[in-house]
Each structure stands twice: as structure tokens, then as C-alpha cells.
Amino acid sequence: MTNAKIISSGMYVPENIVSNQYFNELLGEDVDTWLRENVQIYNRRWCTENESTADLCEKAALNSLENAGMKAEDLDLLIIATDTPEYISPSTSSVVQHRLGAKNAGTFDLNAACAGFVTAMETASHFIRSGNVRNAMVIGAYAMSKHLNKHDKKTVTLFADGAGAVILTKSADPVKGFQASSMITKGEYATWMGIYAGGTQQPVNREVLENNDHQLKFVRRFPSELNPDMWSDMARKLASDMQISIDEVDHFLMTQININAIWETLRILGVPKEKAHTVMHEYGYTGSACIPIAFHEAWQQGKVKDGDTLFFIGSGGGLAFAANSFIL
């Protein structure tokens, strides 16, 4: 049976490093201690004034193409998962497709907030399994620094910028590739966190700008148990669908907003911490980009190896949850 197999990855983060000390000075208080002890973020990367989501995507894409030994024209499909697009319209993927010279690729953007990359991986896999696509690139991208209120302590210290790219190809290997998936949305949380102006419900005007409604806002505090409970349930479902035990999973690559949520998920599952590679320490929280960045870094460091079973589990505003599994 035709399947979608991961053959390459790449990443890019801006060169501009923003340390916790910057926020101590900006906010006039010690936030470094809390960040280190509670979320283990020490530094993050922010775009420069002239750098945007398409720039991040382009560089991550080129990195993944180089690692695959492929040319852009070999791609049949490009999906960019982001909720910080280059424009409201047209799509970021059309901009990146042209820059890359991926003249044979159809494109679209996908917005499932920070669950976008995992959702896009399943989407690309289905295109390949249907027989219409041979090579697909999925990019998770985030430039949330462009939407931050620099004096909002709840958001400005956490969110950062970056992009991660993965290339999938059609394979006849009966063992490797896409295995199982699960998606759940809890729309009752849609108003709890987001960027609520700039769309059709609330176009940008002077009042919006004065109230900072065009910037990211935490409206209500999410229950701390929500992500661990959802992630562990989804992991169990993936394992059940694959007819394996949780112990047989080699790597859990999860949304990187809070390291304690990751550790609690692994505790619930009875899995050692070593099975979850984390990257928020130097990159901050990079939304749709954090899982492909973590995957790429783990692969480059030799932690992820041929034949490993991978669980990708993401969640983001909406609230959207997505999980899927691959054998590398």
C-alpha cells in the first residue's frame, strides 16, 4: 500500500536572540527566575523589523531540501501551517512557492493554531496516500513577535519566532511512514486566547489599535491539567490504533509551551523524560514551528533514528488538538 514517509527535515530561527534579562529591564521586575523555574525558557528568537513569516519558511524549506538532496521543482505539494501569515490574503504558501521555484507544487495554508503542523502532516499524508502527490513539504511557521504587546507580561516573555520543515514522499514500504492519527477540538475555549482583531468580525481601526486588540491576548487562564490529560489520551489512542504499547513509542514530540505539561503527560503515560526532546529553552515558544524544530534537532543530534516510532502531539488556540504517528 502506498504510504507517506518522512525523508528529510530542516529548520530556521532568526539570528536575533532575546534573553530573559531583556524582559527584566523592559518590565522592571525579575521575570527571569519565574521563566527558568516554571517553563525553562532562557532565550528566544525574534524576527527583525524587516523579517517575516515567509522569510522563516523559505530558509527552513531550503534547509530541508538540501538535507533531502532534492530540488524545489521536485515538490508536488507545499502546505504551510501558521496562524501568523504573511498576509490575510493571499496565502503565505504561494509567496514561499514562488521564492523557492517550486513550480510544480500546489499550495495552501492551514490554520489550526499551534496544532497546525501536526494537522498538516496528516493532510499531506492523505494526499500522498491518495496517489495524487509524490513529494510534499510541510512547514510549521510562527512569527508571533509581530503580534505581541511588549508590556504584557503574560505573553511577551513566552512567544517567539521560527520555522520547521519536513518532506514526505510516496513509499511502498509496508512498515515505515504514516501510521495513525487523531484530531479533537474544544471550541468552547476559542475566546480564551487569541488575536481577535484583523479579521471580518473586528477589522482593524483606530479603536482596535488603541485597545491593543490586534495583538495576542490571554483572556482566561487555561486549566493546567487540560493539555496533559488530552495529550495522554491521544497518545493512548494512537498506540491502540497501531496495536502497540506506549512503551514501544521511541519519541514524543509535543507542543513546547510549558515543559511541565510535557513532563506530566509522560508521567501519566509512565514514560521516561528522555523520550521527549524539548527546545523551548533557547528558542522560546514557537507555536506551529516548535514540533518540527524539536524533531529536526533530535534527528540532527542522532536521538531519532531509522525505524523509530514517533508520536507528534500538538495543541493550540481554538482549542485544537492533533496527534499522529510515523515510523521513520
Closest CA to 287 of 151, 182, 146: 146
* pLDDT confidence band for 99 (50 / 70 / 90): very high
What does the mean pLDDT of the chain come to? 96
Q: Write the CA distances from 242 to 165, 248, 250, 322, integer angstroms.
A: 25, 10, 14, 16
For residues 148-171, average pLDDT = 95
Using CA atoms of 135, 7, 311, 320 in order, give the dihedral in degrees to the nearest 10.
Answer: -30
Whole-number pLDDT of residue 117: 98
| Separation CA 96–CA 59 (nearest Å) | 10
Whole-number pLDDT of residue 204: 86
Closest CA to 312 of 244, 256, 245: 256
Q: How far, rounded to the nearest angstrom, does the alpha carbon of residue 199 sit from its chain's CA centroid?
A: 22
pLDDT at 166 over 90: yes
Rg of the chain over Cα atoms, rounded to whole angstroms, equals: 19
| Separation CA 159–CA 144 (nearest Å) | 6
pLDDT at 100 over 90: yes
Three-state secondary structure call for residue 48:
coil
pLDDT, greater one: 201 or 189:
189
Whole-number pLDDT of residue 328: 97
Whole-number pLDDT of residue 92: 98
Residues 6+ apart with CB under 8 A from 266: 252, 272, 273, 275, 276
Convert the pLDDT of each residue in 37-93 to its tens digit: 989 999 999 999 999 999 999 999 999 999 999 999 999 999 999 999 999 999 999
Q: Tell me the DSSP string of 129-184.
A: HHTS-SEEEEEEEEEGGGG--TT-HHHHTTB-EEEEEEEEEEE--SSSEEEEEEEE
Which pTM does this prediction carry?
A: 0.96
Lowest mean pLDDT, pick from 133-137, 152-156, 158-162: 152-156
pLDDT at 207 over 90: no
**What number of CA atoms fall less than 13 Å from residue 250's CA on the CB side?**
15
Domain with CATH 3.40.47.10 in the chain: 3-171, 177-327
pLDDT at 254 over 90: yes
Percentage, residues of the chain above pLDDT 90: 88
| Separation CA 120–CA 132 (nearest Å) | 16
* pLDDT confidence band for 206 (50 / 70 / 90): confident
Q: For the chain, give the longest Cα–Cα distance.
A: 60
Whole-number pLDDT of residue 174: 85
Convert the pLDDT of each residue in 115-131 to its tens digit: 999 999 999 999 999 98
pLDDT at 278 over 90: yes
Cis peptide before 168 (omega within 30 of 0): no
Whole-number pLDDT of residue 311: 98
Is the domain covering 3-171 a CATH 3.40.50.1000 domain? no
pLDDT at 202 over 90: no
For residues 92-101, average pLDDT = 98
Query: What is the H or E stretch that residue 6 is in?
Result: strand 3-12
What architecture is the 177-327 domain classified under in CATH? 3-Layer(aba) Sandwich (3.40)
Q: Dihedral sign, CA of 132, 134, 135, 138?
A: positive
For residues 262-267, average pLDDT = 98
Whole-number pLDDT of residue 201: 86
